[in-house]
Structure 1
Amino acid sequence: MTPQFGQSPKGERLARIIQSPNYKDGKFQNSHHTPQLTEGYGYTKALYEYLFNKSISIKPQDSIPSIKTDLKAIPLTENILVWFGHSSYYMQVDGKRILVDPVFSGNASPIPGGTRAFKGTDIYTPSDLPEIDYLLISHDHYDHLDYKTLVALRPKIRNIVCGLGVGAHLERWGYSPELIIEKDWDQTIEGENGFLIHILPARHFSGRALSANNTLWASYLLKTESHRIYIGGDSGYDDHFARIGKSFGPVDIAILENGQYDAAWKYIHMQPEEVIKAFKDLGAKKLFPVHSSKFALANHAWNEPLERISGIARSENIPLMTPLIGEVVELDNPHQIFRNWWKEVK
């Protein structure tokens, strides 16, 4: 099997997985019953609608606007976030450099040219990144765990945090086991100066090639001296958001998926209205919606996720972060203004 498909867990890694309370009947399970397809939707119907009833605006006609920021030149004393489109972003928080789900290959599919990035969105490469203290991987799907990107980033990564089993892919791609921190839900990584990474539930699934749910998907709560940031990964709506908010709130920023949704997938991806519910459940102060504006993985207009959620946020007076790709988000600036850039793109 070609390397981009990764490696299934085995040996001591598999033995540890089998001991997880979240692993039952030979695979990882969500907290509640989670069909991949909504009742009334068969795989044939869902595939037919995606292939033959595509939205005419599933991809933008224009190039997506972006900014090429010199990430290596940003002083480590500055608390910032830079989004790369979809669910990839870089953060500097209280002296730590953190990278989440990087995809810089221009493709969200194992098939060459299968799911190409929109024009203008693929302006960053692994060479643009500084050294990374913690690389966080939410799950092993191709639009979050990218083989070419991970191989190119390898010399820059000091630690990788991921769910149980995901380390098998990383080891096959040349990462030293000493760098890989695999955790189950409700476990914590403790760093210096009160720096904590809580590994928490999400409602999704995993798998590459023919494997399904043999690795664990996760969300994260990042706690530093001055910030609490929730990194939601991919997740359908469920009561874990309220439980996390009760245990770890208030959250300064909730980074939640908002895009690539469909009525057929209601259990594994959120509609914008559910994103708002999750934001409120978390007791968050600001909302940063991701999982949009780079890849067409669902049959909705490319700009619909941002248009819908910005309308709700405006009517409910919710502070919404909508940066351009590459724009520096100033985490310590409560007055930073973001423009509705998607309205300028056809």
Structure 2
Amino acid sequence: MTLKRKRFFKYTAYTLGILLLLCGGILILFLNSAQFGKLPEGARLERIKQSPNYKNGSFENQSPTALMSSDKSLWQSTWEFLFNDVADLVPEIALPTEKTALASLPPAEDLLVWLGHSSLFLQLDGQRILVDPVLISASPVSFINKPFLGTDRFKPGDIPPIDLLLITHDHWDHLDYHSVVQLRERVKSVVCPLGVGAHLEHWGFHPDIIREVDWGEQFAVDKNITLTALPARHFSGRGLRSNQTLWTAYMLQSSFGNVFLSGDTGYDTHFKAIKQQFAQIDLAVIENGQYNEDWKYIHLLPQDLTKAIDDLQPTLFMTIHHSKFALGRHPWYEPLEKIADAAIAKKLPLLTPKIGDVLYLRDTTQTFTRWWEAAEK
């Protein structure tokens, strides 16, 4: 090899090495940016270690739960997820929505407004409750998981002062750093699963307003509302380490009745156990969408959703986790279409409000349309 060629290869190797170091440094800085939150440590971690749901350094589901349920390799599943074409994955037109003035709603009225995906605005017994507000971004980079046209009507500035912020788990599509930071000064108190408070404190929430809960914990929110944290079958994590924080469902008991919030969950025996614990479930709000056979244990497939409804036997139910982001590999309208058809066939008490509709919880005459059909094609 000539001296000139040796110098060329040496220079090339040196340049590649510098580029790799720069890329590695940028990645490290990115993964350590504020939006990734912070892992539990100190007294918070010591409390976590006392949880019966924390074993061998991470939280576990009640039943053994593999994140990937197919025989495909990780590379094959990832390739198919990223590059396989799915018809109607994203709507071609803006979805019909309503821009309700939340601050103008009568404070004494018990009601619910779906803000898109899994974000909810609730009023119960005069308390304003906000659930999983993802109003700006569902991912660490803005160009991924962009909302469907027409579904981002509600921004943090549209949210009135909140008595209780409820977080079900720390995934990006349920805990939006940008949203909660903007809402921080308008939030009176926070309830979240074990460990999630570390993120919130890192983002400037005062520790005195944060209450972290384990499955089975119950306490009075105020004199009229009792909250119970309940199991879900899912996982957690915002960065490279999974299951360092818990995921949860909630039951809100109020003068209206019992309102069940499923959080993200796959099907398991916990639905029957919840029904045994709460004989009356007046409204169930259950995840529906972003499912895939490849991860069938951590999200509800359509047939699992109907099994969950059969187990819970709610007086009324509605579904969320659909119609805003394409996180699963199914037509955007399929979750609603399938549960609406099942509701007719099995006489299930389904409500189908669109984003921004006001569901008046005590109004037994209120009805909603199959609004998604106008935007299917």
Q: Give the TM-score, by structure 2 length.
A: 0.90
* Number of residue pairs aligned between Structure 1 and Structure 2: 345
> Where do 1:122-161 residues align within 5 Å?
122-161=152-191
- In structure 2, runs of 5+ residues without a counterpart are 1-31
Q: Distance in 2 between matches of 1:21 and 1:263?
A: 29
Give the secondary-structure state (helix, strand or coil) at the position aligned to 2:116.
Answer: coil
Give the secondary-structure state (helix, strand or coil) at the position aligned to 1:277.
Answer: helix
Counterpart for residue 47 of structure 1: 78
Aligned: 1:339 with 2:339: no
Counterpart for residue 6 of structure 1: 37
Q: Distance in 1 between matches of 2:67 and 2:274?
A: 23
Give the secondary-structure state (helix, strand or coil) at the position aligned to 2:282.
Answer: strand
**Alpha-carbon shift at residue 317 of structure 1 (Å):** 1.1
Per-residue CA deviations over 1:145-164 (Å, capped at 9, x if unaligned) read 00000000001101111100
Contact 1:102 1:146 in 2 (8 A): yes
Q: Distance in 2 between matches of 1:71 and 1:193?
A: 24
Q: Distance in 2 between matches of 1:150 and 1:272?
A: 31
**Alpha-carbon shift at residue 189 of structure 1 (Å):** 2.0
Contact 2:95 2:148 in 1 (8 A): yes
**Alpha-carbon shift at residue 283 of structure 1 (Å):** 2.4
**Alpha-carbon shift at residue 42 of structure 1 (Å):** 2.5
Counterpart for residue 60 of structure 1: 91
**Alpha-carbon shift at residue 194 of structure 1 (Å):** 3.7
Give me the identity figure in percent. Answer: 46
Of Structure 1 and Structure 2, the greater helix share is in 2
**Alpha-carbon shift at residue 63 of structure 1 (Å):** 0.2
Per-residue CA deviations over 1:251-289 (Å, capped at 9, x if unaligned) read 011111000000001100001221111122112111111
| Counterpart selection for 1:259 from 271, 282, 289 | 289
Counterpart for residue 203 of structure 1: 233
Give the secondary-structure state (helix, strand or coil) at the position aligned to 2:44.
Answer: helix
| Counterpart selection for 2:305 from 253, 272, 275 | 275
**Alpha-carbon shift at residue 216 of structure 1 (Å):** 0.2
Counterpart for residue 318 of structure 2: 288
After TM superposition, the runs of 4+ consecutive aligned structure 1 residues lying more than 4 A away are none
With 51-60 and 260-269 compared, the bigger mean Cα shift is at 51-60
Q: Distance in 1 between matches of 2:74 and 2:365?
A: 46
**Alpha-carbon shift at residue 301 of structure 1 (Å):** 0.3
**Alpha-carbon shift at residue 192 of structure 1 (Å):** 2.9
Contact 2:110 2:256 in 1 (8 A): no
Aligned: 1:86 with 2:117: yes
Counterpart for residue 306 of structure 1: 336
- In structure 1, runs of 5+ residues without a counterpart are none
> Where do 1:226-241 residues align within 5 Å?
226-241=256-271
Q: Give the TM-score, by structure 1 length.
A: 0.98
Counterpart for residue 57 of structure 2: 26
Give the secondary-structure state (helix, strand or coil) at the position aligned to 1:344.
Answer: helix
Counterpart for residue 209 of structure 2: 179
Contact 2:256 2:362 in 1 (8 A): no
Give the secondary-structure state (helix, strand or coil) at the position aligned to 1:251.
Answer: coil
Q: Match for 1:217: what amino acid?
A: W
Per-residue CA deviations over 1:4-49 (Å, capped at 9, x if unaligned) read 1000000000000011100000000000100001041321121121
Counterpart for residue 147 of structure 2: 117
Contact 1:203 1:267 in 2 (8 A): yes
Aligned: 1:217 with 2:208: no
Q: Match for 2:204: what amino acid?
A: G
Q: Distance in 1 between matches of 2:336 and 2:362?
A: 24
Contact 2:218 2:226 in 1 (8 A): yes
Q: Distance in 1 between matches of 2:83 and 2:224?
A: 52
Q: Distance in 2 between matches of 1:14 and 1:310?
A: 43
Contact 2:194 2:212 in 1 (8 A): yes
Q: Distance in 1 between matches of 2:289 and 2:366?
A: 24
Q: Distance in 2 between matches of 1:174 and 1:325?
A: 30
Give the secondary-structure state (helix, strand or coil) at the position aligned to 1:84.
Answer: strand
Residue 341 to residue 44, structure 1, CA distance change in 2 (3 Å) = same
**Alpha-carbon shift at residue 190 of structure 1 (Å):** 1.0
Contact 2:193 2:213 in 1 (8 A): yes
**Alpha-carbon shift at residue 51 of structure 1 (Å):** 1.6
**Alpha-carbon shift at residue 233 of structure 1 (Å):** 0.4
Structure ID, larger Rg:
2
Contact 2:256 2:361 in 1 (8 A): no
Contact 1:160 1:180 in 2 (8 A): yes
Q: Distance in 2 between matches of 1:227 and 1:276?
A: 22
